[in-house]
Amino acid sequence: MKIERHHVRVFSIIVVWLTFATLLSYLLALILKVNFPLVSSIFLFPVDLIPFPYNLSGLFVIGFGLLWNAYANYTLLFVGKIGLRDREPFHTPSTLVVDGPYRFSRNPVYLSALIMIFGLAIVLSSLLLIILLAVVYGIFQFSLIRWEERRLKDAFGIDYLEYRKHVRRWL
């Protein structure tokens, strides 16, 4: 499957919308103290999968994901000198970044997104978000990352192949 620019945008919109819809429905149910049966049955199924206060541990997971993402972006922007324009999905980077979190993972930005979705699934105790996490992982693993790795191999050749030998895709 050939990935086009609009595929990435559509995917991003779907992920953001589903995450936002889950969070908004949960917050509305709490604030208005109204039990929306459809919301409860879809977004919060099964209810109390992770009971309060244990579900709040997901906030630490989300915080870790945010920090990991900030560290990865800092490394790209300031260590790798890769500007915001060069980081767009369809723009070939001019530098192969192998420092910072890129020493441990070839895809720390994608990894941080998965970590944050997992943390949100814990906080909301949402099975729907776990399913969404699996879908997002599949799209990252089998589509976006493979496409990016082909581009990096073409752009950096043997340097990228050596880096790939020593650093795992996820962790």
Which of these, 14, 122, 25, 9, lies nearest to 64 by C-alpha position?
Answer: 122
Q: What digits encode the pLDDT tens for the residues 107-116?
A: 999 999 999 9
Instruction: Flag whether pLDDT at 152 surpasses 60.
Output: yes
The CATH number, out of the four listed (1.20.120.1630, 1.10.580.10, 3.40.1640.10, 1.10.10.10), of the domain defined by the range 5-166: 1.20.120.1630
Whole-Å CA distances, 168 to 6, 111, 133, 136, 163: 28, 12, 20, 19, 9
Angstrom distance (rounded) from CA 24 to CA 55: 17
Question: How far is 69 from 122, CA to CA, in rounded Å?
Answer: 19
pTM (predicted TM-score): 0.76
Helix (H, G, I), strand (E, B) or coil at 98: coil
Residue range 112-146, pLDDT digits in tens: 999 999 998 888 888 878 888 998 899 889 888 88
